[in-house]
């Protein structure tokens, strides 16, 4: 009598998939396997372990196989499941937007710190993508008036959906356009924040496949030196900031020197200490608009 094939239980699937993804170069094969299986089974990751011996049906196995194949080809897990956690919010994501990173939470923390002592602060998030930064600020500062700008209508559609999901649609205004042009006549603002495109054009082909092949180049490409968008943004931001208002920028880990030098070359700005991320890399630069009297003394 033929021996019965061992059933594909949750435990067996996870064990096999972990090894497969590890061989394909995933740096988090177990986590990837769990997140994708939980997605297929419409359950929580922790519940996979309480259902370890449950058999997974053929239809679910086929769906899981398809996701694992895409992950092995480099597709980011966040795009495969359609969401990413950021600042304790679950945000919808798609290839139209960058996947929010934990490092960008440092930018939100600094923005919230910059807004201390203000009432009904006016804030602009430039290049909002999924809306992560704008929505995190709006969620944490219920009196804030937030404008979120993006050049991509597809990205704005995702951001608006995330605002609806978190009941923030009445507190964040979304505008389509290039950098600060949509609010050029609407200043002054208490804070302008941005995670702008800052990767040099010729570096993009060298990025890991998940970023290079799947994330939007519009949100990555900072021009020949990686600083072209940053420089334009700084120039546009200065006249839109209130005296004492803050400009907060996420930067690449190798860009602290040139971006700081550019900020310091503008007498209207006072540049603060560099904020480093959890790995110790330079991550956020924060500059404050001087009062008109102090600007004059700097010239």
Report whether pLDDT(1) > 50.
no
Strand partners, 146: 123, 172
d(CA 215, CA 238): 30
Would you say 281 and 252 are in contact if contact means Cβ atoms under 8 Å apart? no
What is the reported pTM? 0.92
d(CA 10, CA 50): 10
| pLDDT tens figures, 31-54 | 999 999 999 999 999 999 999 999
| pLDDT tens figures, 231-285 | 999 999 999 999 999 999 999 999 999 999 999 999 999 999 999 999 999 999 9
The mean pLDDT value for 175-202 works out to 96
| pLDDT tens figures, 82-138 | 999 999 999 999 999 999 999 999 999 999 999 999 999 999 999 999 999 999 999
Chain centroid to Cα 227, Å, comes to: 19
- In terms of Cβ atoms closer than 10 Å to its own Cβ (0-12, 13-18, 19+), residue 51 is middle
| pLDDT tens figures, 17-26 | 999 999 999 9
The mean pLDDT value for 56-71 works out to 97
Report whether pLDDT(169) > 80.
yes
Helices 256-264 and 228-237 meet at what angle, rounded to 10?
A: 30
d(CA 195, CA 98): 10
* Percent residues over pLDDT 90 in the chain: 93
What pLDDT does residue 293 have? 57
Q: How many CB atoms lie within 10 A of CB 171?
A: 19
The mean pLDDT of the chain is: 95
For residue 80, CA distances in Å to 111, 132, 181, 210 come to 30, 18, 34, 12
d(CA 203, CA 201): 5
* Percent residues over pLDDT 70 in the chain: 96
Report whether pLDDT(292) > 80.
no
Closest CA to 29 of 19, 39, 37, 38: 19
């Amino acid at each position: 009598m033929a021996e019965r094939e061992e059933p594909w239980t949750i435990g067996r699937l996870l064990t096999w998939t972990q090894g497969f993804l590890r061989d394909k170069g995933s740096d988090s094969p177990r986590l990837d396997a769990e997140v994708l299986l939980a997605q297929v089974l419409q359950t929580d990751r922790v519940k996979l372990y309480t259902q370890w011996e449950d058999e997974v049906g053929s239809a679910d196995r086929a769906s899981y196989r398809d996701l694992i194949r895409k992950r092995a080809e480099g597709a980011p897990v966040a795009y495969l499941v359609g969401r990413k956690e950021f600042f304790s919010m679950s945000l919808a994501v798609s290839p139209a937007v960058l996947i929010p990173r934990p490092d960008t939470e440092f930018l939100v923390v600094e923005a919230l710190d910059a807004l201390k002592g203000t009432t009904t602060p006016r804030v602009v998030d430039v290049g909002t993508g999924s809306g992560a930064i704008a929505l995190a600020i709006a969620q944490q500062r219920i009196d804030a008036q937030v404008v979120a700008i993006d050049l991509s209508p597809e990205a704005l559609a995702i951001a608006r959906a995330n605002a609806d999901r978190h009941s923030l649609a009445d507190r964040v205004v979304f505008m389509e356009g290039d950098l600060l042009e949509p609010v050029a006549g609407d200043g002054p603002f208490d804070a302008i924040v941005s995670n702008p495109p800052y990767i040099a054009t010729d570096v993009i082909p060298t990025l890991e496949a998940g970023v290079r092949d799947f994330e939007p180049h519009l949100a990555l490409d900072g021009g020949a030196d990686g600083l072209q968008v940053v420089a334009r943004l700084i120039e546009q931001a200065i006249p839109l900031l209130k005296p004492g208002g803050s400009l907060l920028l996420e930067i690449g880990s190798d860009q602290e020197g040139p971006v700081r030098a550019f900020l310091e070359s503008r007498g209207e700005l006072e540049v603060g200490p560099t904020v480093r991320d959890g790995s110790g890399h330079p991550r956020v630069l924060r500059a404050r608009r001087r009062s008109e009297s102090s600007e004059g003394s700097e010239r």
